[in-house]
């Protein structure tokens, strides 16, 4: 019987919990996709494996349409299926216990647990089991950096991706946490000048940048900070909280 540890490692090695360290000590190797020759996120995983004396098995990431596919869910489904094939080959070829190192927390905008559901359905991996170790998420780090509570007293917070930000605002959401940010998504902020924003790029990693204030006042600074983060780290991943002004119509 094969077992897998799914370990959330937050924004980097500094966020590994004692529970995560225990799970890694029980693993024989780590599986991770390699997205290219200059993959900073993979490099973080390499550092963690080196610190915990673990072998890192790198699997080339299958190709996918990352621009704007006509059928986004279908594109992601096909991409996940290709990852399942790649992981299944490695898991069946190797003895011992594997681990997946998940950026942030496995429960938020990550495909690992869905992929394990599919792996368990494979005949060659019958009986596959896994456990999940939670990690510090990007929204948690964002809140800590800006020293804020993510919601107002007794009020909800809507969590979504930059792809669906406009949909959230148009539906009446007034306190929106946005993950998987992108440069095009920031163009959606131009008519939200009076909203407050708490923004962070590459949280906990090289080139971290933070900007907060009224959107209409800080957006130029934010865009510059985003490019600075990309220039320093070679990549950029941003997360931000948007809140409508008090008394704004729903």
DSSP label of 104: B
Write the DSSP assignment of 7-34 as a string of letters: EE-BTSGGG--HHHHHHHHT-SEEEEEE
**Rounded to an integer, what is the distance from CA 176 to the centroid of its chain?**
17
Torsion angle of the four alpha carbons 8, 225, 145, 241, in this order, in degrees rounded to the nearest 10: -80
Strands (E), the chain: 3-8, 29-34, 55-60, 98-102, 129-133, 158-161, 175-179, 196-201, 209-214, 238-243
Q: Do 54 and 128 reside in the same domain of the chain?
A: yes
The structure tokens listed for 34 are 């390699």
- Global pTM? 0.86
Q: Is residue 249, in this structure, part of any structural domain at all? A: no
Q: What is the pLDDT of residue 3?
A: 95
Q: Do 60 and 160 reside in the same domain of the chain?
A: no
> Domain boundary residue among 133, 152, 186?
133
Q: Do 32 and 129 reside in the same domain of the chain?
A: yes
> Domain boundary residue among 102, 133, 164?
133
Find residue 29's DSSP bridge partners. Answer: 55, 98
List the CATH number of the domain containing 228.
3.30.950.10
Q: What is the pLDDT of residue 16?
A: 95
> Domain boundary residue among 133, 160, 188?
133
- The rounded radius of gyration (Å) of the Cα atoms in the chain is 19
Do 14 and 204 meet the contact criterion of CB atoms below 8 Å apart?
yes
In terms of residue numbers, what domain contains 51?
Answer: 3-133
Q: What gap in Å lies between CA 198 and CA 151, rounded to an integer?
A: 12
Write the DSSP assignment of 213-239 as a string of letters: EEHHHHHHHHHHHHHHHHHHHS---EE
Backbone torsions φ then ψ of 237, nearest 5 degrees: -135, 115
The structure tokens listed for 145 are 């950096």
Do 11 and 139 meet the contact criterion of CB atoms below 8 Å apart?
no
Please, what's the b/e burial string for 8-17 (b: 16 or more CB within 10 A of its CB; e: otherwise)?
Answer: bbbbbbebbb
Q: What gap in Å lies between CA 212 and CA 221, rounded to an integer?
A: 10
Tens-digit pLDDT string for the chain (250 aa) = 789 999 999 988 999 999 999 999 999 999 998 876 557 778 889 999 999 999 999 988 766 655 556 656 666 777 778 889 989 999 999 999 999 999 999 999 998 999 999 999 999 999 999 999 999 999 999 999 999 999 999 999 999 999 899 999 999 999 999 998 887 778 888 889 999 999 999 998 878 999 999 999 999 999 999 999 999 888 888 999 999 998 655 5
Q: What is the pLDDT of residue 208?
A: 94
Maximum C-alpha span of the chain = 60
List the CATH number of the domain containing 44.
3.40.1010.10
Q: Do 119 and 8 reside in the same domain of the chain?
A: yes
**In total, how many domains does the chain have?**
2
Q: Do 42 and 58 reside in the same domain of the chain?
A: yes
Q: What is the pLDDT of residue 188?
A: 84
Q: What is the pLDDT of residue 93?
A: 92
């Amino acid at each position: 019987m094969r077992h897998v540890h799914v370990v959330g490692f937050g924004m980097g090695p500094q966020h590994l919990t004692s529970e995560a360290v225990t799970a890694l000590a029980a693993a024989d190797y780590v599986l991770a996709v390699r997205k290219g020759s200059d993959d900073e996120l993979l490099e973080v995983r390499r550092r963690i494996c080196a610190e915990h004396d673990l072998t890192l098995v790198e699997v080339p990431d299958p190709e996918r349409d990352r621009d704007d596919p006509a059928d986004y869910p279908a594109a992601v489904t096909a991409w996940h299926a290709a990852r399942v094939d790649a992981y299944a080959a490695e898991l069946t070829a190797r003895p011992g216990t594997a681990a997946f190192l998940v950026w942030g927390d496995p429960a938020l905008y990550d495909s690992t647990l869905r992929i394990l559901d599919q792996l368990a359905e494979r005949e060659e991996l019958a009986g596959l089991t896994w456990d999940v170790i939670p990690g510090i998420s990007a929204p948690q780090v964002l809140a800590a950096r800006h020293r804020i509570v993510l919601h107002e007293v007794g009020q909800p917070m809507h969590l979504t991706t930059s792809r669906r930000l406009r949909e959230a605002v148009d539906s009446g959401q007034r306190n929106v946490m946005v993950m998987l940010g992108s440069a095009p998504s920031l163009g959606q902020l131009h008519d939200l000048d009076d909203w407050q924003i708490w923004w962070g790029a590459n949280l906990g990693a090289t080139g971290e940048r933070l900007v907060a204030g009224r959107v209409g006042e800080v957006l130029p600074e934010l865009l510059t900070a985003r490019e600075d983060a990309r220039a320093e780290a070679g990549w950029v991943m941003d997360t931000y909280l948007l809140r409508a002004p008090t008394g704004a119509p729903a």
